[in-house]
Structure 1
Amino acid sequence: MNPALMFIHSAGPQGENQGSSNLIKYVRNGLGNDAEVNSPKMPTPEDPKYSDWKNELDKALAKHSGGIVLVGHSLGGSVLLKYLSEEVYHVKVLGLFIVAAPFWGIDDDWQRKDFFLQEAFEQHLKKIPHIFLYHSRNEEIVPFSHHIVLAEKLTRSTCRILDGSDHLFDNGLPELVRDVRSLLR
């Protein structure tokens, strides 16, 4: 049986060629038969609330009994960090891959308190053996300063700093597929 990979999408519209949809397709195609990729539709992505996304994650993770790889894109990444550092879950997380995630509370534009991470959140992620962070150096949607804060907190993570300004990665993210594949071997 193939390992399970759960991809938590970004905020905003999630129709075809919107939001995380192209990146999800790229990951699915890139991994092929190496992993079973699923991406639960998170509630009200255009007006997200942590409690709603948390409840959806509870349901989605309850369907898995073995190890799982988690990928979070943008808001999906910050939701996974918050969830995994605050909630009780009974699935073994083999790897956590965070793509272009905001660090809420860093500045005036990022003040959604329901998405704030608790103080010393990183201490609760120690049982996750592999954490990867990806961020474009010149991206304009989630500034690179968010990546710097996450990297400083998650000192044992592997950081992939990407040239350019991509946030949605509509044309894919080969580094992500390569890293997931190396973890699954």
Structure 2
Amino acid sequence: MKKQPLLFIQGGGDDGYEADKALVNSLRESLGNQYEIHYPAMPSDESAPDFGWLQQIDSEVSENEDGVILVAHSLGASMLLKYISEYPVIKKIKGIFLIATPHWSGDEEWQAGLKLKKDFAKKLPDKVPLYLYHSRDDEEVSFAYLDYYKQNLNQATFREIKSGGHQLNNDLTIVANDINSLSK
């Protein structure tokens, strides 16, 4: 039996890849072996306005099969949203799942390559399920960003999580349940 492709994009920071391995492991455990989870390390090109992430995401999505499921955490979630709203995605996407997604709005030069365009919501693919998750006690990415996305993403499903911090206690059962609901 062919496995369902799933691409997980890590969060940022010096230890983002290592920290998010626990999220990937939770997802793998919750989903079972019918999914093929690909978890690439993202670049850290300080000279690129997006740290080199958009090109890497484009490459990873392009290498996957049609019907790929996209899951991303924190900086990875914001960069995946930026990618999907700005790049011509030629692969069919089965679902998009964004965890603790920041919204970049500052005037600092380093944020310029991370910001979404004003019309980003109109550029998202039609009829692709979109889920956003955020813990009320997230200590790194403000829970208020979820309200921003609620105002701009009418087509999305939002999951407010009472507690779990930025890493959702390294338990992605709620995400796995939503992913599994796509097959029903």
Q: Normalising by the residue count of structure 2, what TM-score does the alignment of the two structures yield? A: 0.89
Cα deviation, 1:63-96, whole Å, max 9, x if unaligned, reads: 1232111001000100010000000121111111
* Aligned length, in residue pairs: 182
Structure 1 match to 2:86: 86
Deviations 1:26-66 (A, max 9, x none): 11111112211111110028998526111111221221232
Shift of 1:151: 1.5
What is the aligned partner in structure 1 of residue 114 from structure 2? 115
Q: Does 1:3 align with 2:4?
A: yes
Match of 2:68 in 1: 68
Q: Cα 1:40–1:135, aligned 2, differ >3 Å: closer, same or farther?
A: same
- 1:24 corresponds to 2:29: no
Structure 2 SS opposite 1:179: helix
On the 8 A contact 1:69/1:95 being kept in 2, the answer is yes
Partner AA of 1:91 in structure 2: K
* Letter aligned with residue 145 of structure 2: H
User: Structure 1 regions of 5+ residues with no counterpart?
Assistant: none
Larger mean CA deviation between 39-48 and 147-156 belongs to 39-48
The 5 A counterparts of 1:134-145 are 134-145=133-144
Name the SS of the counterpart of 1:57 in structure 2.
helix
C-alpha contact 2:17 2:41 (8 A) present in aligned 1: no
Opposite residue 23 of structure 1, the aligned amino acid is: L
**Aligned-residue offset at 1:176:** 0.5
Pairing 1:98–2:119 present: no
Equivalent residue number for residue 162 of structure 1: 161
Matched, 1:59 2:69: no
Task: Tell me if the contact between 2:133 and 2:161 (Cα under 8 Å) persists in the aligned partners.
Answer: yes
Distance (whole Å) between structure 1 residues aligned to residue 183 and residue 8 of structure 2: 15
| Contiguous gaps of at least 5 residues in structure 2 | none
RMSD (Å) for aligned C-alpha atoms: 2.3
In the superposition, relative to structure 1, how do residues 123 and 31 fare at CA in structure 2: closer, same or farther (>3 Å)? same
Q: What is the TM-score of this pair, normalised by structure 1?
A: 0.89
Q: Could you say which residue in structure 1 is the equivalent of 2:129?
A: 130
Structure 1 48/178 Cα, relative in aligned 2: closer, same or farther at 3 Å?
farther
Matches within 5 A, 1:141-152: 141-152=140-151
Q: Give the SS at the match of 2:52.
A: helix
Identity of matched residues, %: 32
Instruction: Give the 3-state SS of the residue equivalent to 2:182 in structure 1.
Output: helix
Name the amino acid aligned to 1:153: N
Asked whether the equivalents of residues 10 and 17 of structure 2 are also in contact (C-alpha less than 8 Å), the reply is no
Task: Output the CA distance in 1 between the equivalents of 2:107 and 2:16.
Answer: 26
